[in-house]
Structure 1
Amino acid sequence: MIKVMLIDDHTVLRDGLKSIFEMEDDISVIGEAESGEVALEEVPKLMPDVILMDINLPDQNGVEITRQIKEKYKDIKVLILTMHSHEEYFMSAIREGADGYLLKDAPSEQVVEAVRTVMRGEGVIHPSMTKKLLTFHQQQTTATRETELTEREKEVLTCLVRGLSNKEIAEQLFISDKTVKIHVSKIFKKINVKSRSQAVIHAIQHQIVPTP
């Protein structure tokens, strides 16, 4: 059972999410908070597996709350669920350790699947955010950063940018799931990132792989 905590100042949204998750056999909402202060008090008591975090909170920014939670509880997954589609919010959230970033217009089934995805240790990025980042960085004049990635690792990283899961990457490249995990681990180490989302950001920023 995936233990979920909801952090959002809108009661209607929290109630709606609870209703959605109640229909799932493998997800349980174990707590909620309407502010950053309450969240920081409740997280150590509840120790959820996944937190759905809004950015706009009445007392603190959800990105800052994410940073504090991730510093103390590295195993807790944080999935940002917000109305903000600006690149700076997205980049800040990922830099502070968020495991995923979804917009509130995402279909309910996408939110449910995103919880399962980050629980598996994989990142989730709203499709429109990836497109915005691609457009934004294609307009920059930053020089391409050379890396030590092998051609196969670049192929795997390209698949990550496209949002493919480990299983889908394995099928696309005709390799095993275990081999994909090894490549992903090596990629993380070489480009100094800790999550799939951070790897995608890095790849786009430094134009390491061809953009779709």
Structure 2
Amino acid sequence: MLSPSSISREDDGKSSGKADLPRVAIVDDSENMHLFLKDLGDLGHFQMIGSFTNGAQALEGLPKVHPDLVFMDIRLPDMSGIECTYKLNAILPQLAIIILTGYPDGSTFFRSLLAGARGFLAKPVSGEELLKSIKDVLDGEIVLAKSVIPHLVQLVHRFRRLAHESNLSQREEEILSCIFQQFILTCIGFSKNWAFTQGGKLSPST
């Protein structure tokens, strides 16, 4: 984890005040992660307005502080981060949530998206990654750890195999595979001009 001290402080002369900074909170039972994010916020890039160590605290406290974005650990003492994300989205539908996990995989990524998360980062995460993810997600993008991409490729292979083993016609199989692949590419930020090759690699389409 990169120290916040290696990241430049926001220029106070160009800043229009704290009121204009993103309001960020964290739900994680790791004290180190809380301190790291607080130190990062102290540099002036965002306001750190809430720290919670479990899902129950977050569900009670976050509606009171109105954050723009929350970093959510996948493993909480009382519930999963995905369950907490789902419940928070029912209460605060405009809230942007980024899942933090030490065990990134494709299925967890999709479950996070279905719960309403807008980002998925793998621990350990650097200060630069956290700052970029805040900006990108609040700009409407979906953030995905690069380490998850190989797992998504495996899902493509699995889907192709299941589609091939079904009673679908070849044309139906091709259409479903295309839809599934484009969904994944959209999730990970690639344009429609990219595709998965037969070998499962990402390549610009022609």
- Please confirm whether the aligned pair reaches a TM-score higher than 0.5, indicating the same fold: yes
**Where does structure 1 lack aligned partners over 5 or more consecutive residues?**
174-202
User: CA 1:160 to 1:45, structure 2 compared with 1: closer, same or farther past 3 Å?
Assistant: same
User: CA 1:111 to 1:161, structure 2 compared with 1: closer, same or farther past 3 Å?
Assistant: same
User: CA 1:137 to 1:113, structure 2 compared with 1: closer, same or farther past 3 Å?
Assistant: same
Quick check: 2:104–2:122 contact (8 Å CA) kept in 1?
yes
Q: Give 1 or 2 for the bigger CA radius of gyration.
A: 2
Q: How far did 1:82 drift?
A: 1.5
**Where does structure 2 lack aligned partners over 5 or more consecutive residues?**
1-20, 164-172
Quick check: 1:51–1:76 contact (8 Å CA) kept in 2?
yes
Amino acid corresponding to residue 43 of structure 2 in structure 1: M
- 1:167-203 superposed Cα distances (whole Å, 9 cap, x missing partner): xx6xx98xxxxxxxxxxxxxxxxxxxxxxxxxxxxx9
Q: For 1:103-182, list aligned pairs within 5 A.
A: 103-140=122-159, 141-143=161-163, 144=173, 146=175, 160=186, 163=189
1:81 corresponds to: 100
Quick check: 1:78–1:98 contact (8 Å CA) kept in 2?
yes
User: CA 1:118 to 1:17, structure 2 compared with 1: closer, same or farther past 3 Å?
Assistant: same
3-state SS of the aligned residue for 2:23? Answer: strand
1:23 aligned to which of 43, 50, 64: 43
- 1:30-73 superposed Cα distances (whole Å, 9 cap, x missing partner): 01100101000111101100000001111111100000011221
Identity of aligned residues (%): 27
Q: Does 1:55 align with 2:81?
A: no
Q: How far did 1:11 drift?
A: 1.1
Quick check: 2:98–2:117 contact (8 Å CA) kept in 1?
yes
Q: How many residues align?
A: 167
Quick check: 1:7–1:53 contact (8 Å CA) kept in 2?
yes
Amino acid corresponding to residue 39 of structure 2 in structure 1: S
- 1:59-99 superposed Cα distances (whole Å, 9 cap, x missing partner): 11110000001122111000001112133322211111110
3-state SS of the aligned residue for 1:29? Answer: strand
State the alpha-carbon separation in 1 of the partners of residues 185 and 77 from structure 2. 38
3-state SS of the aligned residue for 2:64? Answer: helix
RMSD of the TM alignment (CA)?
Answer: 3.0
State the alpha-carbon separation in 1 of the partners of residues 60 and 33 from structure 2. 21
1:96 corresponds to: 115
* Structure 1 residue ranges (4+ consecutive) displaced by more than 4 angstroms after TM superposition: none
3-state SS of the aligned residue for 1:146? Answer: helix
2:169 corresponds to: none
Q: How far did 1:161 drift?
A: 5.7
